[in-house]
Amino acid sequence: MDITKFTNLWLLCGMLLTGTACESFLSENDPSNFNTDNYFTKASHAESIVYATYQSLYPVHTGQSWLITELRTGAANSSFSANGGFPSFQIVRNLDMSADHPSVENIWDSHYQGIGNANMALLRIPDITMDEAQKSRLLGEAHFLRAYFYFNLVRIFGDVPVILQPVDLSSPDLNPARAPVDEVYDLILEDLTKAEASGLPFNDESGRVTLGAVKSLLADVYMTMAGYPLQMGAEYYTLARDKAQEVIDAQEYSLFDSYDAFRQKAYDNTGEYIFMVQFDELDQPSDALQIGLPPFKLGVSAYSSEQGFTYAQREFVASYENGDKRAEEGVFFFTKYTSESSRTDTVEFGNYYNYKFFDENAHLNTAQSGLNWQIIRYADVLLDYAEASNELSGPTPEAYEAVNQIRRRAGIPALEGLDQASFREAIWKERWHEQYFEGEIWFDMVRTQKAFDYVNGQFNDYVGHTFVDGKTLEEHHLLFPIPTPEIRNNPNLEQNLGY
C-alpha cells in the first residue's frame, strides 16, 4: 500500500486551501529546498497543514464515498449505467459490488490522505513557536479530523491499518496489517478526548471544528460502540446519552423552522448544522446537487451532466406517515420540474429524485453549487439522545421531546404512550425518514443489525432482509471490500470475507 502518496500531498492541499499559507511559503528563502524538516517554523505553516487535512473531506463527501452506503440501504436506487468512464452504481444497489469498484478505492484513498495530513500536523505543530491557544486549537482540529476519518473507515471496512506517523519508503508502516476494530475505536476515543480538551469554541460559523462537533461525534461513536460489532451495551449508551445531553444543554444549536433552510447558502454553518464540508460556488463547488438530479435526457437543468445517480425507492417514500411534510413534493423529493428549454413546460421524471439539498440557482443558472454538505446535524444529536436514553430506561419525557421536535417540524403527531421496544423502532424509523440522502442510514443498519421493511412498516434482521426488488442482504454486506489495489500491493492485508 503506497501510503506515501497520502502523507506527501499535504503541501499541495494546504496551498489550495489558504492563500495566506501559500503566500508565506512563496516568500521563504529558496523554496526549492522545501522539505518537511525545514518547513514547519511558523503559525501559518501550522494552519496550512490543518487546512490540508480539511481538504480530504471534499472527496469523502462528494459523489462516490457516501453514495454507496446510501444505495446499500434499499431506500435508494440508481438509474445510472456505466458510460464515459463513470462506474455503475446499480452494481452497488444490486449487492454485486466487488473489490474492483472504484468507489471503495476512492473512500480508502481519501480517508488515508486525510489521516496522513493529520499525522503530519500532530507531529510537527507542537514544535512550532506560536500562540499556545492557537496551537492547541489546531491540534484539536487535527485530532477530531483524524478520529472522523478512522470512524468512517472502521465502520465501512472493519479492521483497518492504524497509521499514527507520517510514512516514507523506510517506514515500518509502509505495508501495515489491519488493526482489530476495538483498537481503532480506542484511537478514535483518544483523539476525540484530546480534541475536547483543546480549547475549541463550542460553536463557530466559520465551518471549522468546534467543541459542539467534537461532543456530537463522541455521542455517535459511543452509540456505535454500544451496538454491533463491539456490543459494549449499557455503559456506552450512558456515555452516548450524556454526551448528547451536553450538546442539547448548551443551547447552541436548534432545528431550522423550515426545510427550506437546507437549500439556502445563508444557513450554512448555523442553526442545526454542527459540522459541514465547506464548498464555494466558484472555487470548490459541490456535486451533491447533480448527483440527485434526474438523468440529463430529461433536460430540466443548467447542468450538462445531470447524472441521475440516485433516486428514492417509491415504496420508501410511501412509508412516510400521512401528512409528513418531508414526503411532500418539493421538500425531500421531487418528481417533476420545468424544462430547461421552456420553463413554462413541466417534465415528469417517473421517479422520486432528491430535493432535500436542492440549489435552485445552480440548477437554473450557474451549474455550480456552493451549498455546504452536512456531516453532523442537530437532528442527529437529538436522535442519539433519544435512542440511548430509551435503551437505558425506556421512554422518558426528555427522550420523547427529542424525537418529537423532529416530528413537529414534519407536521406529524407527537409520539407518546409507547413501550421501550415500540419507542426503539419509532426512533429507528425517524432516522430513516429524517436522514435520507445523507449517507448515515446504512451505519445505523450495521450497528443495530436491523433493516427497515418500509412496505410492512417493520424492522427485520439485517442478514436475510430482502429489498423490494428481491435482492437479499447477506452477512458479508455488513462491510465493504478492501480495494483490490491495496490487497495487491500490501502482502499484510487480507480481504474481507465474501469478496
pLDDT tens-digit readout, 415-427 = 999 999 999 999 9
Looking at 181-339, which runs of residues are DSSP E strands? 273-277, 311-312, 333-338
CA distance to 16, 35, 39, 41, per residue, from 30 (Å): 20, 11, 11, 15
Q: 96 with 186, same domain?
A: yes
User: For residues 398 and 403, what is the distance between their CA atoms, to the nearest angstrom?
Assistant: 9
The structure's pTM equals 0.92
Q: At residue 118, what is the residue type?
A: A
pLDDT tens-digit readout, 282-328 = 989 998 777 878 876 788 988 876 666 789 999 999 999 999 999 99
Looking at 427-484, which runs of residues are DSSP E strands? 450-453, 458-461
User: For residues 222 and 447, what is the distance between their CA atoms, to the nearest angstrom?
Assistant: 11
Residue 325 counted as domain residue: yes
Query: Could you give phi then psi for residue 343, rounded to 5 degrees?
Result: -75, 5
Burial (Cβ within 10 Å: 0-12, 13-18, ≥19) of residue 128: middle
Query: Which residues, other chains included, contact 154 with Cβ-Cβ below 8 Å and sequence gap of 6+?
Result: 160, 181, 184, 185, 188
pLDDT tens-digit readout, 367-409 = 999 999 999 999 999 999 999 999 999 999 999 999 999 999 9
Omega prior to 229 cis, within 30 of 0: yes
Q: 133 with 23, same domain?
A: yes
Nearest to 421 by CA among 388, 395, 450, 456: 395
CA distance to 195, 411, 431, 440, per residue, from 353 (Å): 38, 22, 19, 18
Q: 41 with 101, same domain?
A: yes
Q: What is the DSSP string of 381-425?
A: HHHHHHHHHHHHHS--HHHHHHHHHHHHHHT-PPP-S--HHHHHH
Residue 496 counted as domain residue: no
User: For residues 359 and 293, what is the distance between their CA atoms, to the nearest angstrom?
Assistant: 11
Residue 420's domain is classified under what CATH number?
1.25.40.900
pLDDT tens-digit readout, 9-49 = 444 333 333 333 333 322 333 334 456 677 899 999 999 99
Q: Collapsing DSSP states into helix, strand and coil, what is residue 330?
A: coil
Q: 257 with 389, same domain?
A: yes
Q: 117 with 249, same domain?
A: no
Residue 42 counted as domain residue: yes
Give the total number of structural domains in the chain: 3
Last residue of a domain, one of 163, 180, 200: 200
HSE on the CB side for 454, CA within 13 Å?
23
Q: 28 with 164, same domain?
A: yes
Residue 499 counted as domain residue: no
First to last CA, the chain: 19
Q: 405 with 366, same domain?
A: no
Q: Per-residue confidence of the chain (499 residues) as pLDDT tens digits?
A: 333 333 334 443 333 333 333 333 223 333 344 566 778 999 999 999 999 999 999 887 665 667 899 999 999 998 754 443 355 788 899 999 999 998 999 999 999 999 999 999 999 999 999 999 999 999 999 999 999 999 999 999 999 999 999 988 888 888 999 999 999 999 999 999 999 999 999 999 999 999 999 999 999 999 999 999 999 999 999 999 999 999 999 999 999 999 999 999 999 999 999 999 999 999 899 987 778 788 767 889 888 766 667 899 999 999 999 999 999 999 999 999 999 999 999 999 999 999 999 999 999 999 999 999 999 999 999 999 999 999 999 999 999 999 999 999 999 999 999 999 999 999 999 999 999 999 999 999 999 999 999 999 999 999 999 999 999 999 999 999 999 999 999 999 999 999 9
Residue 399 counted as domain residue: yes
Q: At residue 213, what is the residue type?
A: A
Last residue of a domain, one of 156, 177, 200: 200
- Looking at residue 35, its pLDDT comes to 65
- Looking at residue 27, its pLDDT comes to 33
Q: 69 with 156, same domain?
A: yes
User: For residues 221 and 33, what is the distance between their CA atoms, to the nearest angstrom?
Assistant: 42
Q: 99 with 149, same domain?
A: yes
Residue 467 counted as domain residue: no
- Looking at residue 303, its pLDDT comes to 86
Nearest to 274 by CA among 219, 208, 195, 221: 208
Q: 9 with 100, same domain?
A: yes
Q: At residue 209, what is the residue type?
A: V
Last residue of a domain, one of 166, 200, 234: 200
Q: Collapsing DSSP states into helix, strand and coil, what is residue 311?
A: strand
Distance of CA 472 to the CA centre of its chain: 25
The boundaries of the domain holding residue 261 are: 208-278+374-460
- Looking at residue 85, its pLDDT comes to 37
Q: 66 with 145, same domain?
A: yes
Q: 317 with 439, same domain?
A: no
Residue 31's domain is classified under what CATH number?
1.25.40.390
User: For residues 289 and 266, what is the distance between their CA atoms, to the nearest angstrom?
Assistant: 17
Report yes or no: 373 and 273 within 8 Å, Cβ to Cβ. no
Cell numbers for 342: 421552456
